[in-house]
Chain A
């Protein structure tokens, strides 16, 4: 179990270009699984490449167990990167692939065979040793790649969108497997994904990266429900943003005054609310009720998205129960409630 400290990491591709990673700092607790999430092009893969030694950082440092690894050759860092492409060596069978790292260390063949069996059992591929990589399905190949990565007991496991190329159902299953195996081996893991649901469902901690910088790092529910900035709110789907100003514990907007459970800092000029936290058709007199006009109704299977224009030209999106699409129509006057605990002040 290793600790990782990334300190003001900076990487620029080409001279004079905008930095892909711009003073990025992040701490990984030993044995934890942290999701590094952000839109494509935000620099998250570059962070992994700097950690793995595939590219040289321009500034900052990466400390593993307290000592810098940036000056070390890739094979001396104890960092294994597993990507979207499983990259199983086509000339080796499954056992040869899984045992590769141990063979390079010169471990005795008997040891390797035993450890390979253990790892294959861990990823639920007992008996697959003699198979060739091309005879595996996408999910099986990813499991072999995971076993191959973990057999060397890396200090840090880096996963770069490992599930992106898999079918949705398989992705769900693999996500669970990665979680189980990561816990069983207590490997400090950084999991890069652009999928926010994947991030919050797989990780102990979620780090949001935007434009090469760390925006927020916290527990999955914290980043999901309490975004730090407007950009973080937008990324995690807290799409309702109300502009205004604080007066004590009241937040005054053009559409009305709202009470918040959380006290915003004096600087906060907006509050965010997730669509699924809002209530469509609130009783008269309910707290934080706002009247509005239905502008669109979109059936989504598990829920119905209703866009409501409230006073001041502000549009709010409510994720209402699926059946709502039969009872609500465009042009209806409705009352929506914004529960005090669902409102979160944004600082930036």
Chain B
């Protein structure tokens, strides 16, 4: 799972087929630029929308720049504040619960070999691979029975479906690369098994597990369909607010909501690359 962060490197490092005296740096430059553009350019109109007033076709840029939508979004008791609160709350709860269940499972998958392990790994991946709505419809029926529809608790529970695969697979890779010889070394130096866990194992796997937690939070944060279905319109998260703004034709509010929905993702990107950079060194 963690390998996705290294995608950017091979793109830049692969030398062009024609050997020439041109510096490798130049050749790496263009693909990297395209990659960055691919990621950044779609954000530009979103940001512009959030500050635009009177932006009609065929004008290339808005007629007037205004912070009115931002002011409205952050007024006391606004929808945005509520939705942000709800989003942070349910995402954090889903991440925490996902870690509680997913880390021990990932540890078992990463450290032990057992018959049928590949099938278990495939099953763990299944919720990401099969269309989520199909699973959600089935779960919805169960939630109705349990009286959990329309509640934040129900939303948190249903978020575990997409969250757990990420947590399990990232933890599995963290524990698979964790060298238990460090623990044996700590024991030899006089550390008890508890001290070894506290002072050696946990600090060593912490960067990797933080990445798992960040992913869990982010996956929960971006859910739309599951929230709509199980939340029944009573649990309004940022993606739902964004959807409502678009449906209402309020491009300015939609722009604000979009920026606020994207920001945590960028924050997690920076955080994980820092953590992985630190964890990758020995």
Question: Please, what's the 1-or-0 string for A47-60, where 1 marks a CB less than 8 Å from any CB in chain B?
Answer: 00000111000000
Question: Please, what's the 1-or-0 string for B195-209, where 1 marks a CB less than 8 Å from any CB in chain A?
Answer: 100011001101000
Q: Which B residues from 85 to 101 make CB contacts under 8 A with A?
A: none
Whether A90 lies near B204 (C-beta < 8 A) is: yes
Is A105 at the interface (CB under 8 A from chain B)?
A: yes
Q: Within the assembled complex, what's the spacing in Å between the Cα atoms of A74 and B190?
A: 8
Closest to A133 in B: B282
Interface size of A as a range: 20 to 34
- In the bound complex, residues from chain A placing their C-beta under 8 Å from that of B179 are 87
A89-B204 CB under 8 A given contacts A75-B187, A104-B189? yes
- In the bound complex, residues from chain B placing their C-beta under 8 Å from that of A148 are 189
Whether A134 lies near B282 (C-beta < 8 A) is: yes
- In the bound complex, residues from chain A placing their C-beta under 8 Å from that of B282 are 90, 133-134
A100-B189 CB under 8 A given contacts A83-B181, A87-B181, A91-B204? yes
Closest to A81 in B: B188
Q: Within the assembled complex, what's the spacing in Å between the Cα atoms of A252 and B104?
A: 72
Whether B182 lies near A104 (C-beta < 8 A) is: no
Closest to A49 in B: B184
- In the bound complex, residues from chain A placing their C-beta under 8 Å from that of B199 are 100, 103-104
Is B25 at the interface (CB under 8 A from chain A)?
A: no
Q: Within the assembled complex, what's the spacing in Å between the Cα atoms of A104 and B187?
A: 10
Question: Please, what's the 1-or-0 string for A62-97, where 1 marks a CB less than 8 Å from any CB in chain B?
Answer: 000000000001110001110101010111100000
A189 smallest CB distance to B (angstroms): 14
Chain B interface mostly:
helix
Q: Which B residues from 142 to 197 make CB contacts under 8 A with A?
A: 179, 181-182, 184-192, 195
A106 smallest CB distance to B (angstroms): 10
Is A139 at the interface (CB under 8 A from chain B)?
A: no
- Pick from B182, B190, B199 the residue with the most CB of A within 10 Å: B190
B183 smallest CB distance to A (angstroms): 10
Whether A152 lies near B181 (C-beta < 8 A) is: no
Q: Within the assembled complex, what's the spacing in Å between the Cα atoms of A101 and B199?
A: 11
Is A149 at the interface (CB under 8 A from chain B)?
A: yes
Contact of B190 (CB < 8 Å), options: A52, A85, A152: A152
Whether A74 lies near B188 (C-beta < 8 A) is: yes
Whether A105 lies near B204 (C-beta < 8 A) is: no
B194 smallest CB distance to A (angstroms): 10
Contact of B187 (CB < 8 Å), options: A53, A89, A132, A133: A53
Question: Please, what's the 1-or-0 string for A322-344, where 1 marks a CB less than 8 Å from any CB in chain B?
Answer: 00000000000000000000000
- In the bound complex, residues from chain B placing their C-beta under 8 Å from that of A85 are 181
Is B281 at the interface (CB under 8 A from chain A)?
A: yes
Whether A75 lies near B188 (C-beta < 8 A) is: yes
Whether A104 lies near B188 (C-beta < 8 A) is: no
- In the bound complex, residues from chain A placing their C-beta under 8 Å from that of B187 are 53, 73-75
Whether A87 lies near B185 (C-beta < 8 A) is: yes
B10 smallest CB distance to A (angstroms): 23
- In the bound complex, residues from chain A placing their C-beta under 8 Å from that of B189 are 75, 80, 100-101, 104, 148-149, 152
Interface pairs (22), CB distance under 8 Å: A54-B184, A74-B184, A75-B187, A75-B189, A79-B188, A81-B185, A81-B188, A83-B181, A87-B185, A89-B182, A89-B204, A90-B282, A91-B204, A91-B206, A100-B191, A101-B189, A101-B191, A104-B195, A104-B199, A134-B281, A149-B189, A152-B189
- Which B residues fall within an 8 A CB radius of A? 179, 181-182, 184-192, 195, 199-200, 203-204, 206, 281-282
- Which A residues fall within an 8 A CB radius of B? 52-54, 73-75, 79-81, 83, 85, 87, 89-92, 100-101, 103-105, 132-134, 148-149, 152
| The 6 A-B residue pairs with the shortest CB-CB distance in the complex, in nearest-first order | A101-B189, A74-B187, A91-B203, A134-B281, A104-B191, A87-B185
